[in-house]
Amino acid sequence: MQINELEKDKNVIVKEYIFDANDVKRLEDKAVNSLNSKGYQIEGFRVGRVPKEIYKLRLKDAFYNIYVADEAIIEVEDELDKENISVVIPPVIVDARFDANGGKVVVELHLEPEVTFDPSKIKVRKAKEDEVLESYVEMRVKYMLDEHAVLEPKEGEAQEGDVVKVKETVLLNEKAIRDHEEREYLLLKDDERDAVKQLYGKKKGDTVEFEKTFEKSENEKITYKYILEVEEIYNRILPVLNDEFVKSLAIENVETLEGLKEKFRNEGKEIYDRELGDSYRMQIIDQIPSATEIDISEKTIQRAVENIIDNLKEEGKYDDYIKSYGSEEKLVEEFKNYYINLIKKDLVVKKLAEENDVKVNDEDIKAYAEIVSVEWGVSPDRAEALIKSRIDLRNEVIMDIVESKVANLLIDKVQVEEVSFNKDEKNEEEKSE
């Protein structure tokens, strides 16, 4: 076998594998063995013992251009495996032609393109720690007060802060979805629920009726009728927030209001640090493509997009995608951008993982299983067993862990912008800019 390089375009190399007459004789024998092993029946010959010449007569040009060519392609693939090259899409057989005198296989190889990554171009955002902790403490204190609120029946209209007890019926085409179900609504101005809005100004014994329409599908809507019978209105009396109230809670090692706030502040700090790390990792991984230059051939992008489209067509989803994007041209452009960003991210993660000797061990998978077990609704042991038993899931998990470790390596190399979610402070910052 002779190998020639026909063309090179960035990361794409086109190679030609030449087979001479002696190679073809060897491939003919392989083709015959393969055909006989499949049990083809030809009249006058025993199954599995059909001579080569008979196959040649029966199959004619197809004997060489299909069966001999298939054996040649297998040998080419074996040769490529020995080279141990890294490709971003599988080798593409561009041409394969054979006759008794020789033949060739032309292969398009899409090697991993070169990438240049600059982590300083990545900018991650974090909420101001003091602001977040202050909000967390306020929320926890408010929740604590709400838990210990006293409800006293009141006369008159339901107002802000009151609790309204109702018997609620929900009808769909006169069928009761909910029938005189007891519910309580706390009236707060920020609550956008229709039921809450309708209950303002109502008195004990009043009945509230309203309808709400939802889109079930593009051409179908459903309308629910709500009937709320007001049974009682309560004035919600919150306890006085002071040291005495805190002592009544009997929280270990907490006896003062300041001590309670400090406890909540420490809780919030743990949550803030954990979620900040997760946020940094997500932001870094998402921004890797924008901080990366790639030297990639249009041929690779085109082949990748064709593969995506072929898969969608096999799944019967392609027409739906065209409809959602408005045209085939827009869809193809979207797939191109998607693939370029995906390959940038994957190659940078792979490169950094190799340079920093990032590994995934059993402890990493165990820790990952503990986190996702709640989401999956199984025990940590069961989640770990599922990950280890399914190769596709295991590969996905390993990639997630590697990405997380690579992102951790980059945290000290990216820009960090502290942002305020406080409306007043945010407006002042915007004015100063």
Read off the pLDDT of residues 20-54 as tens digits, 9 standing for 90 and up: 999 999 999 999 999 999 988 888 888 889 999 99
Beta strands in 119-219 (DSSP E): 123-127, 150-153, 163-172, 175-186, 207-217
| 421 has a pLDDT exceeding 90 | no
Q: Which three-class secondary structure state does DSSP give residue 3? A: strand
Judging by DSSP bridges, how do beta strands 415-419 and 163-172 pair with one another?
unpaired
- What does the pLDDT read at residue 39? 85
- Closest of 366, 367, 360, 363 to residue 385, by C-alpha: 366
CATH 3.30.70.1050 domain range(s) in the chain: 2-112
Q: Could you read off the pLDDT of 281-295 as tens digits, one per residue?
A: 999 999 999 999 999
Average pLDDT over residues 96-123: 96
Residues in Cβ contact with 347 at an 8 Å cutoff, skipping those fewer than 6 apart: 88, 112, 113, 115, 292, 294
CATH 3.10.50.30 domain range(s) in the chain: 150-237
329-364: buried (b, 16+ CB within 10 Å) or exposed (e) per residue?
Answer: eebbeebbeebbbebbbbbbbbbbbeeeebebeeeb
Say how far apart CA 129 and CA 112 lie, in whole Å.
42
- What angle do the packed helices 391-410 and 362-376 form, to 10 degrees? 110
Say how far apart CA 307 and CA 304 lie, in whole Å.
5
Average pLDDT over residues 6-16: 96
CATH topology of domain 2-112: Alpha-Beta Plaits (3.30.70)
Say how far apart CA 52 and CA 33 lie, in whole Å.
9
Judge whether 424 and 128 are in contact, CB under 8 Å.
no
| CATH code, 150-237 | 3.10.50.30
361 — pLDDT class (breaks 50, 70, 90): very high
216 — pLDDT class (breaks 50, 70, 90): confident
